[in-house]
């Protein structure tokens, strides 16, 4: 994945209840949010790609 004109807008630390059996393998997670002008996704194995552009009112 490639981001152009990107900034990080939020970072959250998530600490699920790791005392339960269902959540025992989750000790600490991070959620990162971005704002960007352009994004390009590439699937290296399949040789495909996709893209998106956010014009933001221009």
- pLDDT value of position 29: 84
What would the pLDDT profile of 13-53 be if each residue is shown by its tens digit?
A: 887 766 777 767 777 789 999 999 999 999 999 999 999 99
The whole-model pTM stands at 0.60
- pLDDT value of position 17: 65
**Is 29 part of a structural domain of the chain?**
yes
- pLDDT value of position 8: 96
Report the distance separating Cα 15 and Cα 6, nearest Å: 27
**Is 57 part of a structural domain of the chain?**
yes
**Is 32 part of a structural domain of the chain?**
yes
The total number of structural domains in the chain stands at: 1
| Domain limits for position 13 | 1-37+50-58
Per 3-state DSSP, what percentage of the chain is helix, strand, and coil (rounded to 5)? 0, 50, 50
- pLDDT value of position 18: 63
């Amino acid at each position: 994945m490639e981001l152009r004109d990107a900034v990080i807008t939020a970072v959250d630390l998530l600490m699920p209840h790791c005392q339960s059996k269902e959540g025992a393998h989750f000790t600490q997670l991070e959620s990162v949010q971005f704002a960007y002008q352009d994004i390009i996704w590439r699937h290296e194995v399949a040789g495909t790609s996709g893209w998106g552009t956010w014009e933001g009112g221009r």
